[in-house]
Structure 1
Amino acid sequence: MKSFLSLFYLILILVGFYGIFNKVESKHSETQKITLFSEAFGNKNHPAILLNAGAGSQSIVWADVFCKKLAEKRYFVIRYDYRDTGLSSQVQDEITPYTIHDLAKDALNILKKYHIQKGHIVGFSMGGQIAQFLGAYYPDHVLSLILIGTSTDFKPGFDAFEGKFKNEGLSPPNQNYVTWATRQVDLDAQTLDEKVEDYIKTWRYLDGNSPRFNKDYYRNEGIRNYTRTKLHKPYLKHARAMKSSFKDHKKAPSLIKSPTLILQGAQDPVFGIDHGKKLNSQIKNSTLLIWDDFAHAISPQNFDRIIEEIDRFIKSHF
């Protein structure tokens, strides 16, 4: 039971419970009878950027305005729903659960659908794990990696929610966050308004209780999150995928050869600064950027500077 709860709790960590340039193209890609929904922004002739969200999150965590602004930098920007999220297929995986390798292959199929051989891969939280797998195990399809709020090792998070706090290895999630997230499990939101209020509270916490937190933005995103799809419980499946991939994840960073930018927040309650530093030490061709006021959310007050750093990094290497 404790192990089961740890899977659920960890997802609270990783997702929070849950014009040429303005042209948007939507597609469904099929892989092994799984249909994946994606949208693209910008000109197909520009370099491709594939956005990978956190565990359990829909593609819309990468907001429309974020994608459009990034496309205005002369990129072809793609966001997509993971299996079991958004408008993609629900997968019956009780017999053979999928792994991060499977999710990485899904990402490759998205690129293939748009006839893209190589792309720049952006990954947030679990999306950063997927990005690392792409860079390590499928390098022929990767130009560069941008890793945001992620780690070389997710095991400390699982251990923390099982009550196993260790004094060695990478730091666990913030103890206050573990306590707070555990309490969230007891919430029994039923109505749309209740769910949206929980959504706002969760992202406020993941955003480090920033004084610039945009409540109206997250209210609108929460409504969209819960009215866009009926698939609202992918968390355990994504957690199983992460937990089954610890071994390959630990090996991945040292195998990455693509230029890599690591964005780490000093206020991140999930992955402390040591996680970003560890990534930086293990990925040979990497650059670490630490923001003192950044936490664990792709929030609107950070859109412009995230976009600027992505653009600066890519154009400095290509």
Structure 2
Amino acid sequence: MSENVTLGVEHFGDPAAPLVLLAGNPTMLSWPDPLCQALANGGRHVVRYDLRDSGASTTVDPDAPGYTLRDLAADAARLARELDPRPAHLAGIGVGGLVAQVAALDHPDAFAALTLAGTRPVAPGPVDPDLPDHDGETMGLLFSRPMPDWSDRDAVVRFVAAGAAILGDDPEAARTRAERVFDRAASKEPAVQSANHLGTVFAKLDCTPRWRERLPELAVPTLVVHGRHNRFFPLGNGEALAREIPDARLLVLDDAATALPDDTVDAVAAAMLALIRTGHG
């Protein structure tokens, strides 16, 4: 990567196959291993990656990130071009979905298809009046808890698992993922660990200008995946994306919340593979 930025990546499948690039939320582990393998088994070169200040990517100062959302979008485009000269299928989950939207809008030549999972069409902060905001009761429970000692692995894992239960996700799956996230972080420094587990960098990023009004410009096949019980970005956000992106398909996961459970892998992989075939002609 240029600009002295290195991104942590993991590859699945044949490097000569069409590329599926998965942007993390903020770490690559928000994309489940079985989904990555299912896409690879479908004949794709799957690369999941950590956003800056998370996982194995360049970490400088998560409390004061010296970059913008547009820089993260440019990271996605540069990485896609370095991995494969052909336009890629870009997918983003959660805050990675914000990155993916802006990347596809700002760098249209780099991408042939787009998947947006559990995300919304506006930046962190006040939501547009027509979009559902975070569920108030859930957020109250989630953020009224005392923060853990972020240098204590066991405390962090317990905190993350309990938060997953509040959000309606599987706490045991979250526990396993949190252990891996903790171990992959650049250090045990509290700011680094909280950024890895909570995506706190996004509260400090410059995410201007708005991009929602540009969504009708997207001219690539698009899949929107959203859990029906997502309390962080409620379903109306995914429905808005599917309405405003031309010809987008909406896949609602009836039993999912914010995470992608293993039992949704077959449906999500099939929908993504169908989209990829469309995107690559």
**TM-score (normalizing by structure 2):** 0.87
Aligned to 1:46, the other structure's residue is in SS state coil
Counterparts in 2 of 1:205 and 1:309: CA distance versus 1, 3 Å:
farther
Q: Provide the residue aligned with 1:88 in structure 2.
A: 57
Counterparts in 2 of 1:190 and 1:233: CA distance versus 1, 3 Å:
closer
Whether 1:205 aligns to 2:166 is yes
Q: Provide the residue aligned with 1:17 in structure 2.
A: none
Q: Provide the residue aligned with 2:175 in structure 1.
A: 219
Counterparts in 2 of 1:240 and 1:114: CA distance versus 1, 3 Å:
same
Whether 1:47 aligns to 2:18 is yes
Cα distance in structure 1, aligned partners of 2:41 and 2:55:
26
Choose the corresponding residue for 1:151, options 103, 115, 120.
Answer: 120
Aligned to 1:184, the other structure's residue is in SS state coil
Counterparts in 2 of 1:126 and 1:95: CA distance versus 1, 3 Å:
closer
The CA deviation at 1:204 is 2.9
Choose the corresponding residue for 1:119, options 85, 88, 100.
Answer: 88
Q: Are 1:62 and 1:79, in contact at CA under 8 Å, matched by a contact in 2?
A: yes
Cα distance in structure 2, aligned partners of 1:93 and 1:306:
32
What one-letter code is carried by the residue in structure 2 that aligns with 1:225?
V
The CA deviation at 1:150 is 1.0
Whether 1:175 aligns to 2:136 is yes
Choose the corresponding residue for 2:79, options 110, 119, 129.
Answer: 110
Q: Provide the residue aligned with 2:233 in structure 1.
A: 271
The CA deviation at 1:94 is 7.6
Cα distance in structure 2, aligned partners of 1:151 and 1:295:
14
What one-letter code is carried by the residue in structure 2 that aligns with 1:266?
R
Q: Are 1:261 and 1:313, in contact at CA under 8 Å, matched by a contact in 2?
A: yes
State the identity %. 25
Query: Mind listing any 5+ residue stretches in structure 1 that lack a counterpart?
Result: 1-29, 161-165
Cα distance in structure 1, aligned partners of 2:78 and 2:57:
13
RMSD of Structure 2 on Structure 1 (CA): 2.4
The CA deviation at 1:79 is 0.8
Cα distance in structure 1, aligned partners of 2:218 and 2:178:
35
Counterparts in 2 of 1:315 and 1:289: CA distance versus 1, 3 Å:
same
Counterparts in 2 of 1:183 and 1:137: CA distance versus 1, 3 Å:
same
Query: Mind listing any 5+ residue stretches in structure 2 that lack a counterpart?
Result: none
Aligned to 1:86, the other structure's residue is in SS state coil
Aligned to 1:169, the other structure's residue is in SS state coil
The CA deviation at 1:61 is 2.3
The CA deviation at 1:190 is 5.3
Cα distance in structure 1, aligned partners of 2:63 and 2:2:
18
Greater mean deviation of Cα atoms: 181-190 or 63-72? 181-190
The CA deviation at 1:96 is 7.4
Q: Are 1:36 and 1:83, in contact at CA under 8 Å, matched by a contact in 2?
A: yes
Q: Provide the residue aligned with 1:300 in structure 2.
A: 262
Question: Deviations 1:260-296 (Å, cap 9, x if unpaired)?
Answer: 1111222110222221221122111311222322211
Greater mean deviation of Cα atoms: 135-144 or 57-66? 57-66
Q: Provide the residue aligned with 2:33 in structure 1.
A: 64
Counterparts in 2 of 1:299 and 1:205: CA distance versus 1, 3 Å:
farther
Q: Are 1:149 and 1:264, in contact at CA under 8 Å, matched by a contact in 2?
A: yes
Counterparts in 2 of 1:76 and 1:245: CA distance versus 1, 3 Å:
same
Whether 1:245 aligns to 2:216 is no
